[in-house]
Structure 1
Amino acid sequence: MIGIIGARGVGKKTMILQHIKEKLDSKKALYVSADDMYFSEKRLLDLADSFYKNAGEYLFIDEIHKYTDWSRELKNIYDSFPTLKVVFTGSSVLDILKGSADLSRRAIIYKLQGLSFREYLKFYHKYEIEAYSLEQIVNNEVKLKNIQHPLPLFNDYLKRGYYPFGIENEMNLRLGQIIVQTLESDIPQYANLNVGTSRKLKRLLSIIAESVPFKPNFSKIAEIINVSRNSLDDYFSHMEKAGLIGQLRNETSGIRGLGKVDKVYLDNTNIIFNIVGDKSNVGNLRETFFFNQMRVKNDVISSSKADFVIENYTFEIGGKNKQQDQINKDGKSFVVKDDIEYGYLNVIPLWAFGLNY
């Protein structure tokens, strides 16, 4: 049994249908959506029983969080049909995280990210680029075959490339709907919040989107949107789990995720453009991209001297005229520049960090 969780719109359903089409015998695979009217009268367990008795081998269940008491049903399916292979997905990361604790001994849970810049190049433009390790990126070993000028593609990625549906029309409309659904349905349902709270969450998103890289003064923000300080911590945590924001923490003393929140970013640059359009702060865009792409495979924390620390490397993010005043000349500190095509010495182009996964 495998669970695939992720924010709305990152491509879980598309990936599963593609896998069935390309890899499996369609007579032995079944795809169902747990919010289908069929399940208003039938149980998942009954469906699995019938499918199994008719020689079914692969059961894919989408939108599992829409099904009442889903974690118990999945446990029963797992225990009743040991040879049946089950994959379930959920858009509401919050509900899935709550329920998946019950499945910890039965299911392996994977989190699906949106597209990296590398994946965007393949999915949107058919360019085959290998993934590069952090070590290769800082050594300026990145090569883009058949792409002479990466910046126009990179700028397009920042606006629409994180979500697979960006390749279609009405990108802003669809992303806007995802944001609204997450704020007005997923988070309130998970945390038992009222409609008025969702308006406060929207206000929080706008504040983050319009800011220079956002260093939260939690007491001041709580006063602005009229909530308690403790409630604000919960709001930020809910939005982070739902894939709307990312919280950058300081040194964690080896215990991941327990450091003090130093900066707050929107989860990805597509959301920034959706909320504030061209009014977005360029420094915020650059840091959001770096944090979004690098935290997938690395533990990214804030730096007291620069912007980010990953392992023993320090990174300062800026434009093509960014100076090196803030970093040490120690071979472990790097200036990451937007608006440049290729790196040199300890200067690395920002787009190169989109090739890490």
Structure 2
Amino acid sequence: EGARVVPVPQRGYGAALMGGIEAALGRYVIMGDADDSYDFASLDGFVARLRAGDQLVMGNRFKGGIAPGAMPWHHKYIGNPVLSFLGRLFFKTVPSDFHCGLRGFDRDAIRALHLRTTGMEFASEMLVKATLSDLRVSEVPTTLQPDGRSRPPHLRSFRDGWRHLRFLLLFSPRWLFLYPGYACLAVGLFLGGLLWNGPINLSPTVQIDIHTFLVAAMLVLVGLQAVSFAIISRRFASSYGFIPPSARFDRVLEFLTLERLLILAAVLIVVGLGALFWGFGQWAARDFGPLNLSTTMRAMIVALTTLVAGTQLALTAFMSSIMNIPLMERRVERTERSPEKLQTFPVRERDN
């Protein structure tokens, strides 16, 4: 008695919660699974933190207590700890129980985040976007009891775990692209520098030579591509409001103009072409006969690597600049219907 049931036509955990949040009438909202697993009679800690000014208050089941049988062992010891660790690592979040379903929040503050996901990853999206938007986030201990459902849960461990992990990666271009790209570049350049003058004997029976040099070149190209993806995805995500803008990133983009990147790309391409012509000259000097495989192959690998790197850089420069084209509200005349009417198509305006 006193409950209000809100019909939500779209299926999904996140869709149901967004429907409930939109229909809520109060300033503060407490959300939680209605399966007897959470204690809704013990919400004083949530309310106190909200009244103190916090905008999102997360429950922590590990600090409050998890009753025997309330959580599968692979959720308790693998899934939740791993995903919570990655969330804190990627986004510097405060709560250590990333996926607790019992949480309270300021309704207007959460609505302003424009949450989008309709599945189980909605729980991650709320916390990630709240953290990225500098909302005041805290956590309080809560308990978890075995649920009282008469049917199997909708949660699918591996499917929904992957959806959470995918969301965390997609919202963190640094960890998805930038840091792996830096690692590949560093390893590739280090190995290439070691092997530039010739083979290296690691032991009396182990020697690394031209094949490892080729691997180093591939690592450089993969690293450059990953860093390029990081720049493009970060610009796209901030332009469309998926993640907040970054002043530091904007300063980097102001320096990496299309013209500067194209100049650098042209230099790399010229160096690559020069190395190719040098190799061809070496071949011609030997009457197009056998060449010194180790020396010539090194030059050819460097030539092709710089050519590909220059081409990649030029394409990245153009793609990143496309992301910067401002989209304005356009008026399109629909003469086939009525030559006197103009139809307006609102498009999000972007300034970075």
Fold match (TM-score > 0.5): no
Instruction: Choose between structure 1 and 2: higher helix proportion.
Output: 2
After TM superposition, the score normalised by the length of structure 2 is 0.25
User: More strand per residue: 1 or 2?
Assistant: 1
Structure-1-length-normalised TM-score: 0.25
